[in-house]
Amino acid sequence: FVLMDRLDGSPGQFRNFKKDDFEADWIKVAECRFSQVYQVKLKLWREKCALKSFDGALRIIDEAHNIAKLKFKYIMSIYGLCSEATAVVMEYMSNGSLNNLLASHTLMWPKKFQMIHEASMGMNFLHSMKPPLLHLNLKTSNILLDDHLHVKISDFGLIHWEEGMSKMFMERLTARGNISYIPPETFTQCPDPPGTTFDVYSFGIVMWEILTQQKPYAGCSMTTVLLQVSEGKRPCVEMIPDEKPPECDQMVSIMNQCWDQDRRKRPQFSDTVRRTEALSEVLKIAGPIQNNKNGDMGQKSSYPWLDGILSLLSQKDFGSFRQSVKKEHVYTQFS
């Protein structure tokens, strides 16, 4: 924190906020083993921000200097640090994470395709850095949604591969249930350092979650997932709803390539992003979105399978479906 002294509010400088710069009421948004996220309000800017505080992780806070310089529509903006609270201060994303949205709302296909494309643009931006900025923790809870349900990738650049990394990875898997996003080549005793293909694999899993609105390998133990994924099994593609647009097959083909067992066969985001762009363009709903009678946002489209679906997003209880999934034999979770 030697740098801190010269961090102020002048243009181009990285800000180090004091706890006192925020209004007194900090609203806790989420808490996990290593970090807490609060909604805070800056007295000066009169704007809500998110403050993510890390338990004793000074190294992570140091990294934030570099990632804060990155600006792109589909990645989270970092406003500064709050070293007093070992925290990163960033944009507040009013609609929370994709993880929560997928569980609480039914997304229409154009929105699903658009979200896949936007996430892919965010990742392509990170990988277009020289050297590529690896995320290494891409998952639906690190894809956040703004007021208009556009996505931004968050928590990038905080994890770096170094000696003893495999142990840290294992800790991360057990502590956070992230195992679904880790490519199988990482499960070996002495894995090679990860490259861009690591994130591409995680992105394949994210695509599956968006397309199915399910949790990968639900009800399976970590050991089962480890063994099955090592053998080349992946989340079950049949779980994608039947009433899908024809273009979905091409999305599935991209997804299959992203999570290929052979990491050399996985595409780069520079390639993926072109393909998701084309697919999301085809499905785009033309014209403005209007409020319908129920107050939902929705409209007719040229696609017959969209007709009758009034809302861009509609509340739906997945409870009974989830229950039926749980009862099935665990291996039906793989394909």
d(Cα 20, Cα 18) in Å, to the nearest integer?
Answer: 5
Q: Are strands 143-145 and 35-42 parallel, antiparallel or unpaired?
A: unpaired
Question: Which C-beta is closer to Mg ion: that of 142 or that of 186?
Answer: 142
How many residues in the chain? 335
First and final C-alpha spacing in the chain: 49
Q: Residue 277: which of ligand ATP, Mg ion, none does it interact with, CB under 5 to 8 A by kind?
A: none
Using CB under 6 A, pick the residue from 104, 128, 141, 314 that binds ligand ATP.
141
Interacting positions 41-60 with ligand ATP (CB under 6 A): 50, 52
Please state the closest distance from residue 242 (CB atom) to Mg ion, in A: 33
Please state the closest distance from residue 271 (CB atom) to ligand ATP, in A: 26
Using CB under 6 A, pick the residue from 63, 86, 99, 150 that binds ligand ATP.
99
Binding mask 59-98 for ligand ATP (x = CB under 6 A): -------------------------------xxxx--xx-
d(Cα 34, Cα 54) in Å, to the nearest integer?
Answer: 6
Could you tell me which stretch among 32-40, 67-75, 117-125, 325-333 binds ligand ATP (CB under 6 A)? 32-40
d(Cα 319, Cα 315) in Å, to the nearest integer?
Answer: 12
Binding mask 147-186 for ligand ATP (x = CB under 6 A): -------xx--------------------x----------
Question: Which C-beta is closer to ligand ATP: that of 215 or that of 233?
Answer: 215
Peptide bond into 131 cis (omega under 30): yes
Provide the 10 A C-beta neighbour count for residue 165. 16
Provide the 10 A C-beta neighbour count for residue 293. 7
Q: Residue 35: which of Mg ion, ligand ATP, none does it interact with, CB under 5 to 8 A by kind?
A: ligand ATP
The residue among 166, 217, 168 whose CA lies nearest residue 188 is 166
Using CB under 6 A, pick the residue from 30, 218, 237, 282 that binds ligand ATP.
30
d(Cα 293, Cα 203) in Å, to the nearest integer?
Answer: 37
Using CB under 5 A, pick the residue from 118, 155, 199, 260 that binds Mg ion.
155
* Number of chain residues interacting with ligand ATP (CB under 6 A): 22
E-only strand ranges, the chain: 15-16, 27-31, 35-42, 47-54, 78-82, 87-91, 105-107, 143-145, 151-153, 290-291, 297-298, 313-315
Residue 197 binds ligand ATP, judged by CB under 6 A: no
Please state the closest distance from residue 262 (CB atom) to ligand ATP, in A: 27
> Residues 6 or more apart from 72 whose CB is under 8 A from it?
122, 125
Q: Which residues bind ligand ATP (CB under 6 A)?
A: 29-30, 32, 35, 37, 50, 52, 90-93, 96-97, 99-100, 137, 141-142, 144, 154-155, 176
Q: Which residues bind Mg ion (CB under 5 A)?
A: 142, 155
